[in-house]
Structure 1
Amino acid sequence: MKLQIPLVCLHLYFSCCEAQVDQSPQSLVTGEGEVSTLFCAFTSKYQTFHWYQQLPGRGLTYLLAVSPQENATEQRFVGQPLGDGKRSSLHITDSQLGDSGSYLCAVAAQ
């Protein structure tokens, strides 16, 4: 029997200059041991995407920062810039039950 792990993605909005940060999917259910992938998009070019994790009943935990030119890795979490300079992905390798929670991104804009 496959264990299902809900990974909830919340939306954050960047208020300056009508720019907006958008995450997808809005929710994700995956199996234990699988790779889970989340995406973050910004309406203009960015300097850095910052990824955070919030587990149930806990505050935000900083995971990693993704620059436009290189991947970032922190244990089982891998952040990648995507080709258009406006998006990033977060991969959770070998997903575990303890990964269930909310994942958020914030942007340091140019």
Structure 2
Amino acid sequence: MPQSHFQELIQRTRAGDRAAENELLQKCRSYISLIARAQIEGWMRTKVDASDLVQQTLLEAHQGLDQFKGDTEAEWLCWLRGILKHNTLDFARRYQGAAKRDVKREFSLD
């Protein structure tokens, strides 16, 4: 998206415009989904879908929007990738280390 449009969306979002915030989050959904699919390791595919990670990432972005201090689309996407990476690693730690689950023995039926 053109930088001027992005900056306008950021300004409107920071001013409390819900429509601008929704547009901002929806415009990056496909990009975040693509990154999420690439980050999910084989063993994780039996436990989580990329869409779950995308939804969690966008929810956390919405909730923590005041923590975003950037002004450019590149900074915005970098911030979202950081949230996604944190969510992916958190999910991996939670399931890979669980004593009751041996995810290494699981396989996808696909």
Do Structure 1 and Structure 2 share a fold, with TM-score over 0.5? no
Whichever structure has more helix as a proportion of its residues is 2
Whichever structure has more strand as a proportion of its residues is 1
TM-score (norm 1): 0.25
